[in-house]
Structure 1
Amino acid sequence: ARARRAPTALPRYGEELVRVTNPIEVLELRLIMEPGLARLASLRASSFETARILDAATTPENAPSGEVDFAFHLAIVAAARNHLAAEFYKMLRQVGVDARVKVARTAAPTCPKRIAHRDGEHRLIAEAISQRDPEAAEAAMRTHLLSVQRQIMERSNAGAFAA
């Protein structure tokens, strides 16, 4: 008879995911999921959720950049009103931020120019959601994530040259 897995073995699955993946794969999966979630948010968001998304699209001065980014994307996922997708998304982001997966950053993630650019992309997504335009919301999210993907590729290439 096979031994049953102890309940404490469950969190190790997350560690296994981190071990077998990399930031490019995380971004690929985000590109598959998030444009569709932005589309759903544009159709399902309450006025309160829309206001939260619009508010989260701009980074307040001296706010932690990563937390603001995550809050924006999480607000969209919540407004999509798909609990299973929200749980998958949180797991995906947790894998993505794990220190063992991060690419060595060659540019400061809190660079004001980069944050301003990201906020601009976030505002386009937020506006499309607030205008209940599913095509525009989906396209704006895809454009934003492709931009993030380019940054990750540049960082990993810079890291390869530095090695």
Structure 2
Amino acid sequence: MDKLTTHLNTNFYTLYREWHYKDIEPRIFVEEMLLDGTKDPDTYKFHIFQGLEDHYIQLTADRFTNYKRTILDKDWQLAPFGFLYDNANNPIPPKPSELEHLKRLAFMLSQMFDYVRVDLYYMPFAKGQKIVVGELTFTHACGTERLVPESWDKKLGNMWQHTSYNRGSDEAK
């Protein structure tokens, strides 16, 4: 309860300058736990710029037991950068059988945005397999995770062609 109360009383707009939180009243909601008793689901975090085919997939596996994070390019090869660490020595994980379906879903959800990270949980162990949308986020790690090598900070920034929108309407300025 203390943690939830702290979150409710934290102004994330002021703290991290994440403008999309500015006018949102804080709320707490509870979701179903996505475990089958033996394994937590892998998370596929699609970093998508302008809905372009050039994107990166951040695969998070074994979140609660043996945390692993690998950044992959659109061809399921190691990306030439990592967040907080060098990605170059990571093993390439097995490609999921539903990767194309995951990509299609991520791209459908990304179409309205200049940049968004679409998080999808993939649970092949669930009856009939299961994909759950985790979140859409506009500021990966509040913009605080260092890129390795640092030169990729500018390269990824150049992929983001920001479009200015009038907050009072849905029309672009």
Give the TM-score normalised by structure 1: 0.25
Higher relative contact order (CA 8 A, sep 6+): 1
Question: In proportion to residue count, which structure has more helix?
Answer: 1
